[in-house]
Chain A
């Protein structure tokens, strides 16, 4: 019961906090999206270098970031080959 009360109160506080900056300055809106794309490319570059250098050193370490990219392409290309076999096994 206390937990529910706390949860409900916390959710109201959170919704309130989210509404306040959204309602006020337009400038704050522009800073929020800026942060995300601005950081991501910078992070990607920073991350990409060690990741790119790692495959040369160890295959296991390189498989993690590369695997994310492969999944995106495999879904589109290998659907016809894998799909019937998995859905209708003998």
Chain B
């Protein structure tokens, strides 16, 4: 079976790419062999995985230098799922190649006008990538939602301006995501403390894989 590639991408830093990548990969790893490829020179994913006392559920590797969609499929065909944690830049080789290689581009966006404005170039880049990657699907996922915040509630309408479908599942702002990073584990490994966050990740996986 061909490797299914999910690129978690946004040129805005701090949108939650690594948090989504790592927890999504942990959720996928419960189903099949999963690899996180850390494409960000900051290597946050790799550092996250190195902190845990127990092994992280998904394999985490960092790659740099020149690579393309073909080499990605060839080198990592042993894995069913590949999660690409992209750098916060659309100009980088890694981001452009990730969009050309992936089946799904998952774009975490924070409920903030500044984050929305900073992410506006993405639809163009995705359209550009679709010229060579016909199977590419893109979804926005609202991250760090605060249920009582009017701004969070207003996001769904504003985000429609992007012209990219939004996942029904939003990720709530939860301290457990930060705790998981600190402990070098996924929210799935935190038992009842991480149950709600894990449920969010499962819902995202169902939407993305089932799409």
Contact = CB atoms under 8 A, between A and B. Distances in A.
B112 to A, nearest CB: 10
B161 interface: yes
Contacts of B161: 9, 12-13, 16
- State the main secondary structure of chain A at its contact with B: helix
Interface in B94-139: 113, 116-117, 120-121, 124
Interface bin, chain B? 10 to 19
Nearest to A10: B158
A7 to B, nearest CB: 8
Interface in A1-56: 1, 4-5, 8-9, 11-13, 15-16, 19, 23
A46 to B, nearest CB: 38
B155 interface: yes
Nearest to A2: B154
B91 interface: no
Ordered nearest first, which 5 A-B pairs have the shortest CB separation? A8-B158, A15-B117, A5-B154, A12-B161, A9-B158
